[in-house]
Amino acid sequence: MDTQRWRRRLLDKLGEVCAGIARLKAGETVVLADMAAPGQAGEGGVDPLTRLLAFKDLLNERLAALAAGEFGVCEGCGGGLSEAELDQIPWVARCSACPSDPGGIRA
């Protein structure tokens, strides 16, 4: 597994999310659909700042997992995540066989 590739992609997304948080805090409008933030389908009235802060936490967790050699392990079943799953969504925390997080953030 090319850990440097995943690290770059996670850091790029983290920068994008932090920029979105800064824009929201400055009173600007941020369209989350343009950021591919998790949980869009079941937003359930959660405000954009809360969603981006949760996404930032998730990205930091995935970076920590990468540093600890635990990246690519499903949080649901403990099985390995496929490279295809990681290619689509590098911050994915669960494999396609496990149910998603009810809050919609942990894709």
Residue 75 near residue 100 (C-beta atoms within 8 A): no
Handedness of CA 61, 67, 71, 73 (dihedral sign): negative
Could you give the percent of the chain with pLDDT greater than 70?
80
Give the predicted TM-score (pTM) of the model: 0.81
Residue 58 near residue 106 (C-beta atoms within 8 A): yes
CA–CA dist 20, 1 (Å, integer) = 30
pLDDT at site 66: 94
pLDDT interval class at 76 (50, 70, 90): confident
